[in-house]
Amino acid sequence: TNLRSHSLHHPPPPSPKTHPMKISSKQISEAIPYAKRFLSFVNQSRSAYHAVDQVSKRLKTQGFQQISESESWNNKVKPNGKYFFTKNQSTIVAFAIGGQFKPGHGGLKIIGAHTDSPDLRLKPISKREKNGFLQCGVQTYGGLLAYTWFDRDLTVCGRVIVKTSTGFESRLVEVKRPILRIPSLAIHLNREVSEKGFKINNENHLNTILSTSIEESLNESSDESDNKIFKGQHHSLLLEVLAKELNVDMDDIFDFELSVVDTQDATLGGIREEFIFSPRLDNLMSCFTAMEGFEESMGSLPQDQDIRCLVFFDHEEIGSRSSHGADSVTLSQTVNRLARAMADENTPDDVTDMTISKSFIISADMAHALHPNYADKHETTSQVAFHAGPTIKVHCNQRYATNAVTGFLFKTLAERNKIPYQYFVVRQDTGCGSTIGSICAANTGIRTVDIGIPQLSMHSIREMCGIVDVQYTANLFKHFFEQFRELDDQLKVDG
C-alpha closest to that of 177 among 123, 242, 82: 242
What pLDDT, in 10s, does the model give residues 224-244? Answer: 677 788 888 999 999 999 999
What pLDDT, in 10s, does the model give residues 136-153? Answer: 999 999 999 999 999 999
C-alpha closest to that of 73 among 294, 302, 307: 307
DSSP string, 100-121: T--TTT--EEEEEEE----EEE
Q: So what's the pLDDT on residue 3?
A: 38
- The CA distance from 495 to 493, in Å, is 6
Q: How confident is the model at residue 461 (pLDDT cuts 50, 70, 90)?
A: very high
User: How many C-beta neighbours within 10 Å does residue 349 have?
Assistant: 8
Percent of the chain with pLDDT over 90: 86
Q: Taking 70 as the threshold, does the pLDDT of residue 391 lie above it?
A: yes
Mean pLDDT of 376-404: 94
Burial class (CB in 10 A: 0-12, 13-18, 19+), 74: exposed
Q: So what's the pLDDT on residue 299?
A: 97
Q: So what's the pLDDT on residue 15?
A: 38
CA distances, 180 to each of 109, 183, 363, 384 (Å)? 43, 10, 35, 37
- The CA distance from 398 to 402, in Å, is 8
Peptide bond before 283: cis, by omega within 30 degrees of 0? yes
C-alpha closest to that of 66 among 74, 75, 57: 57
What pLDDT, in 10s, does the model give residues 162-221? Answer: 999 999 999 999 999 999 999 999 999 998 888 888 899 999 999 999 999 865 444 454
- The CA distance from 465 to 368, in Å, is 10
What pLDDT, in 10s, does the model give residues 250-302? Answer: 999 999 999 999 999 999 999 999 999 999 999 999 999 999 999 999 999 99
User: How many C-beta neighbours within 10 Å does residue 403 have?
Assistant: 15
What pLDDT, in 10s, does the model give residues 81-131? Answer: 999 999 999 999 999 999 999 999 999 999 999 999 999 999 999 999 999
Please check whether residue 106 is in contact with residue 358, taking contact to mean a CB–CB distance below 8 angstroms: yes
- For residue 83, the surrounding DSSP H or E stretch is strand 82-87
